[in-house]
Structure 1
């Protein structure tokens, strides 16, 4: 069984199906994989860190010694609770094959039926035996972990800050999320740092202006600013912003996503305006950052919904192209910025 929708995954991590004996959690983002594995480990056993209840194995532990993995799956908890066996896979095909064989045998009940087998992997390809076997047989759940989207990071930020009894305004949240790295573990560290900056338990609500010193990054270096420059017809500034973002570790897919987010704000603003809202009021409702409002309104007066429909198709095509293996994603994002800026100039911007 494959779980890919966030609500289904969260429901399973909170209350695992008793019929499931094996879980495979994998993905490029190690932080998300580790976080979900920890949540599942805590749900299946009362003492996930107790060496009498839990065995933690790495690829090196079973490379050439498969019997060690089978022995751990056959063992019974000394303390009487449910036994947990965790295996962290690497990249060796032999270990992947051995793990898949142990997975199938344990799901069939050949080892301790009360033990739970948790496999954590990186970006397992379609040729991974663990994936192939796990996705087909009963008693196994496979959870792929994808890169966090801005909406996921926004939700994560709000929930974490609320737990520390502090908050953040919408404009500030947009700004903060736009600067967060996509790796979950690093993003969580940044969110915790923000909570400390605001003062846990203080009830303080961060505004966009409060974050300027905290972020420590010039707004012009933001991918969102590069997207705004492209839609404003300023190609040179857009490309400069993209280059700075690349130096900060943001690749082409993130740049394309930023341009899609800017288009979405323009579309929402124009739709609300057509429904009778004032243009400035519509921009605020669309989450436009207050410092960018003047430039955004200038663009909203020139772009039409029909014009945006044409750009939307190009953004979707660029997004798909960036996700292909070996694609020149930085060049794709720069070409997209060139195309958008050219259309903006033709609109008089």
Structure 2
């Protein structure tokens, strides 16, 4: 098994080893999965003039007819040259279709499998990771240097610079989904076209909450004790296809951050000071909810919330069919607990 480091993934996918023609892209960041698959396909087909060199297949259809993938994989292109097959993995297993391709890999055909978050040591992920002819690349939400690189890439193309505070604020609203994040930066660049430099005011005026496609609303209202708003926001996200595991992971990160802030409050700092001095800056629309949450929760209570959310995340992974319900109940439990704490305060 070859472990792909996050900072090496994009370079590696730009020149995939022909000896590893089956590539699995998986993880909670669906936008990053799709973007990397598109770039890998483009690199593999660079210079090709065959309009049929790229084939898209549905994973559930392949599960029902495993031979269909093999038929496509071993087909020789009309004009010769390399071919790429992109498979969107659904809820059904396609290991029966992948096993023969790993045992006897096709020549000049790259197979890109695009999947959601997959558990280590099971199913498709284990099959590809253990094979010397497969390559598995995890796609997790952008953070830190990845976000800086994305911002720089888009703003450089638009011939724009950005103030340090504006960059921090922008980064705070990106990261949950690569395509959504890139779209937000492109939108900001279009808004600031011709002015040379982007300011905090520009970011506040134009950038919506692209972080995990709006996770903040569901999570902030939950920790602030607004059960109805949290439940409605979570339902809206989940009905739109948001990963419940991704939402729970974001809630855990939020609880950990709130815990850090609450420790500062219990050390003598005011809630307002902690919120105002946060780096990266908290968006002004979120500040009232964050302040309510810090007033309601103790550091010990937030530690317990992290544990409860971690248990819910584990349950959601084990019981995929009930993941949406588990996620909704976990956030509702947080909101109910916060409301109860506020009443006691």
Q: What residue number does 2:132 align with?
A: 138
Q: Which moved more, 1:312-321 or 1:284-293?
A: 284-293
User: How far is the alpha carbon of 1:210 from its aligned partner?
Assistant: 1.2
- Note the alpha carbon deviations across 1:181-208, whole angstroms, 9 max, x for none: x4x4455444423322232773223435
Q: Of the candidates 210, 215, 230, which is equivalent to residue 222 of structure 2?
A: 230
1:192 aligned onto 2:186: yes
Looking at structure 2, the residues matched to 52 and 241 of structure 1 have their Cα atoms a distance apart, in angstroms, of: 45
Distance 1:273 1:88, change over 3 A: same
1:316 counterpart SS class: helix
Per the alignment, do residues 150 and 343 of structure 1 end up closer, same or farther by CA in structure 2, a change over 3 Å counting? farther
- Mind listing any 5+ residue stretches in structure 2 that lack a counterpart? none
2:303 matched to which residue of 1? 309
Measure, in 2, the Cα distance between the counterparts of 1:265 and 1:85: 46
DSSP-derived class of the 2:76 partner: helix
CA distance in 2, matches of 1:244, 1:69: 39
* Residue ranges of structure 1 left out of the alignment (5+ in a row): none
Q: Distance in 2 between matches of 1:225 and 1:58?
A: 35
**In 2, distance between residues paired with 1:245 and 1:151?**
25
- Aligned-residue RMSD, C-alpha: 4.7
Could you tell me how far apart the structure 2 residues matched to 1:251 and 1:139 are? 29
Q: Is the 8 A contact 1:57 1:87 kept in 2?
A: yes
* Deviation per residue, 1:46-102 (Å, 9 max, x gap): x624137994345599956956643539x9x97xxxx53312336799996565434
CA distance in 1, matches of 2:297, 2:255: 10
Q: Which residue of 1 aligns with 2:36?
A: 36
1:28-177 map, 5 Å: 31-41=31-41, 48-51=46-49, 55-59=53-57, 66=70, 69-70=73-74, 72=76, 84-89=82-87, 97=96, 100-106=99-105, 115=108, 117-123=109-115, 127-128=123-124, 134-145=128-139, 148=141, 154-155=147-148, 158-163=151-156, 164=158, 165-167=160-162, 168-174=166-172, 176-177=173-174
Match of 1:326 among 316, 321, 332: 321
Q: Is the 8 A contact 1:25 1:37 kept in 2?
A: no
Q: For structure 1, which segment, 309-318 or 322-331, has the greater mean C-alpha deviation from structure 2 after superposition?
A: 322-331
Partner Cα distance (1:63, 1:134) in 2: 18
Q: Which residue of 2 is the match for residue 6 of structure 1?
A: 6
Matched, 1:22 2:21: yes
Tell me how far 1:275 sits from its aligned partner.
7.3
- How many Å separate the matches in 1 of 2:127 and 2:295? 55
Q: 1:248 to 1:204 in 2, by over 3 A?
A: same
Given the superposition, is the C-alpha separation of residues 251 and 15 from structure 1 closer, same or farther in structure 2, using an over 3 Å criterion?
closer
TM-score with structure 1 setting the length: 0.67
Q: 1:87 to 1:159 in 2, by over 3 A?
A: same
Match of 2:258 in 1: 266
SS of the residue 1:290 aligns to = coil
TM-score normalized by structure 2?
A: 0.68
Q: What CA distance in whole angstroms lies between the structure 2 residues aligned with 1:344 and 1:149?
A: 34
2:284 is the alignment partner of 1:290: yes
* SS of structure 2 residue aligned to 1:72: coil
1:209 alignment partner, one of 193, 200, 204: 204
Aligned CA distance change for structure 1 residues 12 and 142 (closer, same or farther; 3 Å): same
Q: Is the 8 A contact 1:25 1:145 kept in 2?
A: no
In structure 1, how many angstroms separate the alpha carbons of the residues matched to 2:47 and 2:57?
19
